[in-house]
Structure formats: structure tokens, C-alpha cells
Amino acid sequence: MKTERRLLQATVAVACLVPILAGLDGVLRGAAMAGLKDPPADLDSHFRYLSGIFLMLGFAFASTIPAIERRGSRFRLLGAMVVMGGLGRALGWLLTGAPGWEHRLGLGMELIVVPLLMLWQARVERSARRSDGHALK
């Protein structure tokens, strides 16, 4: 149980780097991060806003790491946010065509990796409850 918990913590720590680094890049560079030159101010503003949310999402996931076996509710909420974003990205692919490789990798994170991490976290949480002999808060 302890080894699996540590492995999950390490995996989540590495995965958190994606939204933290990409979010920070988007906040600092705006729509230029996506290769747009002289984007309209409204588009750049919206891009930076969404990048700030993405950055905070990474920090929020990181906040689950120290007691990951007791942060199931938070982890599931954050994961659901990521999956919903992935569904939006998938809809965009269907409506406007395939995005670049970076966004395809993002889609893989959003619709495959994060749901698998959510299942893994739930397993670690159940295991911790069994070993403690009571429900964790």
C-alpha cells in the first residue's frame, strides 16, 4: 500500500508539471503561445484567462499529493474538470479538424491519463481505508 501510494504521488507530481508549465507559458505569452501573431486583444485576454485557470488546476492537483489517499473528492472534482475540457477539445476536433500534436497529446492526457489516475487514486484511497479500519476524511 505504501509503495503504491508513493508511486501515485510521484506520478501525479510529474503530471502536474503539464498544466503548471503550460498554464504559466500561456499567462506570460498569451495567444502567442499558440503561434498567433498580433491576435485580437479579446482573444489574447481570453487565452491568458484560461491559461491562468489551467495553471491553478495544476497547483490544485499538486495540493492533493501530500495526503493523496484522503483527497479523493478534490481529486475527482479536478479530474472531472480536465475530462470536461478534453471533451470540449474532442468536439473541436470533430467540428474544425485535427489540432497540432501538442493538443493531441493534451487530449490523451485529458481523456486517458487523468481518468486512469482518478481510478488509481480511488484504489489507493480504498486500500488506505481498509488498512486504517475506518473511513478517511
pTM of the model: 0.90
Return the pLDDT at 1: 79
Q: Tens digit of pLDDT for each residue in 63-86?
A: 999 999 999 999 999 999 999 999
87 vs 92: CA distance, rounded Å: 9
- Residue 99's Cβ-side half-sphere holds a number of Cα atoms within 13 Å equal to 19
